[in-house]
Amino acid sequence: MQIRFDGEKVIVTGAGHGIGRGIARDFAALGADVLALDVNAAGLAETQNGSEGSISTATLDVTDPAAVRETVAGFGPASILVHSAGGVRGQVGRPLEEITPEDWDAIVDVNMKGAFLMAQAVTPGMKSLGRGRIVTISSGAGIGVSLTGIQAYAAAKAGEIGLTRQLAHELGPFGITVNSIAPGFVRSNPTTERQWESYGPDGQERLVQGIFLRRTGKVEDISNMTLFLASDRAGWITGQIIQVNGGRA
């Protein structure tokens, strides 16, 4: 199944490393004009330098409404948005009573508020085009529980999933599809590597044995699904939360 994105303008958040970087590079390699966004300028430079296609970059805090609007407007009407920005912001699992409001807000804002602001900013352009694709990268934590025990992350990802469904309902009449990918355990960045190491050999073995395909995920596993959902092949798929996790009971 050949998929191309020649002439398409694509925005990818969280593109400074890991899953977002892989998605941005894959869109560019398939002909898209990609705008890669992240708070990490050095990471964005690596993403751009390793690309086989056209990637421009901009440093952006996706929780800043004015900056989001300005950045999106400067790029022009995008037909595809992938919101991959998020994560746990360096936090680790702690008892509920130890979580400060600042800890909570830091995670909820980048994962859920960021998804809302980015979708809000690209929607007028997509409506003007009469079509669009929005893909959020959520998490299995938003469907089940956070393996790291981070309450805000599980809540934010569940909220991102709810937002995806609601936007699909609202934007469908304008030819815009909105879907979410909920990855399983993907070793894609320093945070997930630290998590993997924290399990130790026995915990790592238990995790892998709980996956039907007996391996952890790769960035390309998530990128491949993203490319499909963004393509014309997925034109009648919207409001869906697709788990890409190697199979779990």
Catalytic residue of the set 141, 153, 155, 229: 153
pTM of the model: 0.94
Percent of the chain exceeding pLDDT 90 equals: 81
CA 93 to chain centre: 21
Q: What are the φ and ψ backbone dihedral angles of 142, each rounded to 5 degrees?
A: -80, -10
199 is catalytic: no
Contact of 90 with 113, CB cutoff 8 Å = no
Residue 178: how many CB atoms within 10 A of its CB? 26
Across the range 178-182, mean pLDDT stands at 98
Contact of 36 with 15, CB cutoff 8 Å = yes
Across the range 174-191, mean pLDDT stands at 91
Largest Cα span, the chain: 53
**Per-residue three-class SS string for 7-38:** CCEEEEECCCCHHHHHHHHHHHHCCCEEEEEE
Query: How many residues does the structure list for the chain?
Result: 249
pLDDT band, residue 1 (cuts 50/70/90) = low
User: pLDDT tens across 63-112, in order?
Assistant: 999 999 999 999 999 999 999 998 887 788 889 999 999 999 999 999 99
| Domains in the chain with CATH codes | 9-187+218-240 (3.40.50.720)
Alpha-carbon distance of 45 to 33, in angstroms, equals: 16
How does the average pLDDT of the chain come out, rounded? 94
| Structure token digits, residue 139 | 């998490």
Helix (H, G, I), strand (E, B) or coil at 51: coil
